[in-house]
Amino acid sequence: MFQTEQEHFWATDFGNEYVARNKGANIIASNLALFSKILAHTRTVGSIIEFGANIGLNLIALNQLLPKAHLAAVEINQTAVVELQQNLPQVQLYHQSILNFIPEQLFDLVLIKGVLIHINPDKLPQVYDILYQSSQRYICISEYYNPSPVTIPYRGHTDRLFKRDFAGEMLDRYADLQLIDYGFNYHRDLHFPQDDTTWFLLEKQ
């Protein structure tokens, strides 16, 4: 069913544990602050797809900011899918691995947040292609950043967290992508903390 160990990792027990510990109004508030900054650099976003949406905390914030936008989500974990459906009944939901996703339509904004870091590095070119092929205009990446690829121990596990310049690799891969803006999210922000990630907004030209 799965092509990599990382997919199985997130589809099963560890993914279930992640769902249990990542909830709450404070996360949504931080996401509202983050996405309001990002969306300020966009125009006419009428549809959004998130890859690795989990229970929908990013999409909940985006739905509040853009209540008329059509929302779609790709999520591998069954427990997360059930809760996502409860949180956002209107979402167009794909319960599958990103690696198995085939775009059937284009979306104004493609979002991936805290997911590329957990993809097997050998599969990143395929994932980049899927993100690119799904986008009508914008791609937003929010991940741990490192100028060169590194592997970091993750909650007692090896080969489960990889840091690199994901946005830079996409800019190098697709000649018509342009960097619109970027920013850093600090875990000690007094009001709207995020998990020390860097976000990048890319646009097709």
Give the distance between the most distant pair of CA atoms in the chain: 43
Q: How are beta strands 135-143 and 70-75 bridged, if at all?
A: unpaired
The yes-or-no verdict on residue 13 having pLDDT over 70 is no
The yes-or-no verdict on residue 102 having pLDDT over 90 is yes
Report the 10 Å Cβ neighbour count for 27: 19
| Domain residue extents for the chain | 5-204
Question: Model-level pTM?
Answer: 0.94
The predicted-structure confidence for 51-79, as pLDDT tens digits, reads as follows: 999 999 999 999 999 999 999 999 999 99
The yes-or-no verdict on residue 178 having pLDDT over 80 is yes
The span from the CA of 163 to the CA of 4, in Å, is 18
The span from the CA of 53 to the CA of 75, in Å, is 6
Question: Which segment of 110-119, 155-164, 168-177, 182-191 scores lowest on mean pLDDT?
Answer: 155-164
The predicted-structure confidence for 144-160, as pLDDT tens digits, reads as follows: 999 999 999 888 777 78
pLDDT, position 110: 98
Long-range contacts (CB closer than 8 Å, 24 or more residues apart) made by 147-150: 149/121
- Please state which CATH number belongs to domain 5-204: 3.40.50.150
CA-closest candidate to residue 51, choices 118, 97, 89: 97
Report the 10 Å Cβ neighbour count for 77: 23
Average pLDDT in the 188-197 region? 95
Q: In whole numbers, what is the pLDDT of the chain averaged over residues?
A: 94
pLDDT, position 16: 76
Which residues does 48 contact at the CB level (< 8 Å), separation at least 6? 59, 62, 66, 69, 70, 71, 72, 107, 108, 109, 110, 111
